[in-house]
Amino acid sequence: MKGVKPAFVTMVVACLLICASLSYAHFGVIIPSDDIVAGSESKEISLSVKFVHPMEGVYMEMAKPKKFGVFCRGKSEDLTGSLVSAKAEGPCQGGSCTYWTATYTIKRPGDYIFFVEPEPYWEPAEDKYIVHYTKVWVNALGMEEGWDASLNLPIEIIPLTRPYGLWTGNVFQGLVLVNGKPAPNLEVEVEYMNGSGDDKVIPPADPYITQVIKTDSNGVFTYAMPKAGWWGFAALADAPWKLKHDGQEKDVEIGGVVWVRVVDMK
Ligand SMILES: [Cu+2]
């Protein structure tokens, strides 16, 4: 292929292989620059909003989210207008992948829950749409209150473990609500947001990429995080609604996704 750089060809081939074999573990992502804002001064934080395969570091195209916002002290604030598009820096499923960034100034103490409702993503490999309602917490200015609030999403993880200030090896427990009701026996996928270079974890076999757990009879799941960094939890269900693709009714996978950060004890 004249004029095409070999590195680019390698990347495309690698992505085709990765995406074909592992297209199931998609995760909505919101990662803030700070998960804990200490002290007493206001601070501007930045957030990135993505749709990825976290362990493989592969991006998917993400259309401008339907809604992006923050919930704090019982009030929801719409931040959709603050989203700025960016181009994926890593391998991308489909050639050109967009993700989104935003900044937000934390002024008052409390727990801030950032959330996103994406546009439905059409996944040809699975013949269905995917909608991941994603949340992340930022604890600010010394007040720990509100992290267990529900945002009344169609599917949602309510943390039973405080979702920040976590050590490596801690367990994380969450209650999964579907339509506001506990969801027993539901699958929850867990993935590590992999690093690059020396920080990259190399899974020895495919089952290590996505950890799979289930909720118990009360809709509760438990997982112990073995490594410092960001961990994503995706509770997955079939939506009670369908969406049309090329005129045909298709299934919709809804995910309640959360991200928590774990730090080594030293
Ligand atoms: Cu994918």
How many domains would you assign to the chain? Answer: 1
Q: Interior CA angle at 47 toward 41 and 53, to 5°?
A: 150
State residue 27's pLDDT score: 98
Residue 198 CA, ligand 1 centroid: distance in Å: 24
Residue 18 within a domain: no
- Report the pLDDT value the prediction gives residue 94, as an integer from 0 to 100: 80
103-126 confidence digits (pLDDT tens): 999 999 999 999 999 999 999 999
pLDDT tens, the chain, 266 aa long: 445 555 555 555 554 554 444 456 899 999 999 999 999 999 999 999 999 999 999 999 999 999 999 999 999 999 999 999 999 988 998 888 999 999 999 999 999 999 999 999 999 999 999 999 999 999 999 999 999 999 999 999 999 999 999 999 999 999 999 999 999 999 999 999 999 888 999 999 999 999 999 999 999 999 999 999 999 999 999 999 999 999 999 999 999 999 999 999 99
**What Cα–Cα distance (Å) separates residue 51 from each residue in 48, 73, 116?**
10, 28, 11
Establish if 6 belongs to a structural domain. no
> Is the residue at 21 inside a domain?
no
What secondary structure does DSSP assign to 91-127, as a single string?
-EETS--EEEEEEEEE-SSEEEEEEEEPPPEEEGGGT
Distance 98 CA to ligand 1 centre (A): 13
d(Cα 31, Cα 61) in Å, to the nearest integer?
A: 17
For residue 149, what pLDDT is reported?
Answer: 98
Contact 143, 162 (CB under 8 A): no
Q: How far is the CA of 27 from the centre of ligand 1 (A)?
A: 9
Tokens of 35: 């998960």
Instruction: Evaluate whether residue 13 is within a structural domain.
Output: no
What letter represents residue 147's amino acid? W
CATH code assigned at 200: 2.60.40.10
Q: Residue 194: which domain range?
A: 28-263
Residue 5 resides in a domain: no
As a whole number of angstroms, the distance between CA 15 and CA 27 comes to 17
For residue 149, the CA-to-ligand 1 centroid distance in Å is: 30
Q: In angstroms, what is the span from residue 94 Cα to ligand 1's centroid?
A: 9
Distance of CA 216 from the midpoint of ligand 1 (Å): 28
| Residue 16 covered by a domain | no
Residue 7 lies in a domain: no
Tell me whether residue 9 is in a domain: no
